[in-house]
A and B are shown apart, each in its own frame.
Chain A
Amino acid sequence: MIERYSLPEISDIWSLENKYNAWLKVELAVCSAYNKIGKIPDKSTENILKNARFDVAEIEETEKITKHDVIAFLTNVAKYVGEDSRYIHLGLTSSDVGDTSFSLLFRQALNLILSKAENLAESLMQKALKYKHTPMMGRTHGIHAEPITFGFKLLIFYEEINRGIYRLKKAVETVSCGKLSGAVGTFANVPPEVEETALEILDLKPLLSNQIIQRDIYAECFYVLASLGASCEKIALEMRHLMRTEVSEAEEPFSAGQKGSSAMPHKKNPIVSENICGLSRVLRSNLMSALEDIALWHERDISHSSVERIITPDSTILTYYILHQLTDLIDNMAVNEDKMLKNMQITKGVIFSQKVLLAMIDKGMLREDAYNIVQKLAHQAIQTETEFVILLKNNADVLKYLSEDEINNLFNINYYYKNIDFIFERSLSLFPVAPSCKAIVKVTLKDEVLDPQGKAVLSVLKSSGFNNIEDVRVGKHIELTIHKEKKYKRKEEKNNAEGNNAAGKIKNSNEYDSSNGGNNKYHGKNSKNQNIGELDLDKETLSKELKDISEKILSNPLIENFEIEIK
């Protein structure tokens, strides 16, 4: 990917160094697996694990001669390991290492994208809540339809990005597979136990394979990226429409010193949105190539490899970049609430036409007749730029069914917003904003410290007749809500890079459910899907942190004790 769109944290994943790192990880896992079945002596295994390393520049030099990257890599590692290197790569084919490590790298990239997508979802929800009650025109076919709120529009984006997050989590699970089954996958020269153990070390699942991992696995991931990109494109496209001069309801951030056009100094263009729309096209094209990689000759040909070398870094880097740009756009966009209101008024109140129609039918007019009258007056209102309500009040046929007061009452915008709270509540319960867990810290005075409050309560209890109470101690109950995903997932991601991958820590929804309270019906129904790929809470780290907070701030260890409970 060209540098312009490459953020370092994700392009580093596709560096040569990180690729060789992943290869080495796979080779070492296989050595450990052979050691377990007694095929490699303990001492040699120890030596290999300790000394195996590589030098990227040296591998490049060797590759010029071998014209084969895996062989060049193995030659280089052998240089550092010495004689025991004969145990490395036993019975494997290049694709065993190449594909298994490819899964590791792809997973690493998807996890990084996942954290960016979560940031975007959070930004969208924050803005949706901010503009929950900001009226704006709903448009179908580009034409005024009925009123919505800007927050409602953003809420739809929020749910959609959350579906993208769900697909990403599934993709992480899908891509967490490897194969160490030899040249055509029949375990001819490598025992199945080795595959099993090595993949377990790498936190991958085995997959029935010929020479390679079947490409539908990766195509699925490319679909998830293309689809997420398309959702981002949809949001960006909306921004472009809202920023059009005639609409002017929202605007991209425009920084000091920024220039819109070399020719026209007045210009502020939706360049970020246009950029996102463009890059999303590339994600879709790459998906096409990924789908074409599924069909290969017999037990494998190598036509997929060149494609993947390009599209995998490109699609992951671009998706990450798109999410990054869009999050910044949402966080910093300018919203013109006045213009939103003004634009609603340019159609002279005809947006209430359905309400008028229904009211007239309700009062006994035939639907056909009512429709004709309302349509005629609505079109007239726009053509003559006269308020629709006035035309209605001047029409004898209308007045036969509706009084002036009744007509006035129909033009009430709040009618359209009566379910906005319900809509938000439902969304929030389907996709809780910040999955979090609770910790409770109980702080009590130490036994040897006099507790005058407790004494006072005790005396009241006694005078109220509760004579069997011997002592009362009053303490503090402090509840901490901890943002689970944001705070503790990064550690997991770091582990991924080192090989302790997430798959082993993926868990079912039960615990996550309870932390979210199960406080409404929607949550229960959907929680299972949502939580696929949910990363486990790092309780050890959390406990340490909570202990630290409790000792240093929440309690005074001189006079108080504390207890921590994580829920």
Chain B
Amino acid sequence: MENKKINAGITVFPGSNCDIDVYYALKDVFNLNVTFLWHKDEFHNFKKYDFIVIPGGFSYGDYLRAGALAARSRVMESIKDYAGGGGIILGICNGFQILLESGLLKGAMLTNKSLKFECKDVYIKNTGNNNQNNPFTCLINKDAVLRLPIAHHDGNYFAEKKEVDYLFSANQIAFQYCDAAGITSDESNPNGSIKNIGGLFGEKFNILGLMPHPERASEKILGSDDGAKIFNSIIYYVKNK
């Protein structure tokens, strides 16, 4: 299967600002067929999209809570149905927040512990151990460390302890913030997330919420192409499913 035959959708909300970055990466770097999905529109032809990316940004100005208003938009109603049918969804940064607010992922985001907008490269570790069976990390070794940029104010992931324990036991924790050597600690935690959680799977592993921006690290020229590993995984998975 040629990459061109893979169809990706990118949602666009008022205030999305990484939609074009993701479009560029998917279309120009990975050569996919890419369509934008406007927040006011429903879509019903779920088969048309091999996967959908909810990009980063500040949808609705982060009013009320980051992602809260976008999660109630019309396109998200369709996305929920799409997810229910096993559709692959990658939520990046604000997209992660929207997935949490829409209930597709468990937990919530709080303001960064530093109370600052954190904009820097961080390391994350592939924590999940069923890599071969999910679209997002099937080409990434367990415990492999990726270097990706973050840019957010509300990335302090929170869930009750019981819930966090369950997520770990169900292998739903996808990525944890760590240092270059893969060690998780408070120092390597950029925002105060509980258990350094930086990426989270849905219970059927067809959804990934990810705080760092893989699209901003999809080519060497950008300083790191570790993000490409995630997109390549998705492409590989779509081709071989």
Contact = CB atoms under 8 A, between A and B. Distances in A.
Contacts of B192: 450, 452
**Chain B contact surface mostly:** loop
Nearest to B159: A558
A556 B113 contact: no
Nearest to B67: A556
Interface string A227-259: 000000000000000000000000000000000
A456 interface: yes
Given A449-B110, A450-B113, 9 more contacts: A448-B160, A450-B192, A452-B114, A452-B192, A558-B107, A558-B108, A558-B160, A559-B110, A559-B158
11 contacts: A449-B158, A452-B115, A452-B156, A453-B115, A553-B72, A554-B64, A556-B68, A558-B159, A558-B160, A559-B110, A559-B158
Contacts of B114: 452
Given A553-B64, A553-B68, A558 B111 contact: no
B27 interface: no
Interface residues of B, number: 18
Contacts of A445: 110
Contacts of A559: 108, 110, 158
B68 to A, nearest CB: 7
B226 interface: no
Interface in B39-76: 64-65, 68, 72
Interface size class of A (residues with CB under 8 A): 10 to 19
Contacts of B112: 452
Contacts of B113: 450, 452
A452 B112 CA distance: 8
Nearest to B106: A558
Contacts of A448: 160
B115 A556 contact: no
A556 B105 CA distance: 13
A536 to B, nearest CB: 31
A561 to B, nearest CB: 13
Smallest CB-CB A-B distances: 7 pairs: A558-B108, A559-B108, A556-B108, A452-B115, A452-B113, A452-B111, A559-B158
A453 B68 contact: no
Contacts of A556: 65, 68, 101, 108
Given A556-B101, A558-B158, A559-B158, A450 B68 contact: no
A556 B72 CA distance: 13
Contacts of B108: 556, 558-559
A456 B110 CA distance: 15
Contacts of A456: 115
A448 B159 CA distance: 11
A453 B111 contact: yes
A559 B97 CA distance: 14
Candidate in A445, A448, A554, A559 with the most chain B CB atoms within 10 angstroms: A559
A448 B160 CA distance: 9
Candidate in B65, B115, B159 with the most chain A CB atoms within 10 angstroms: B65
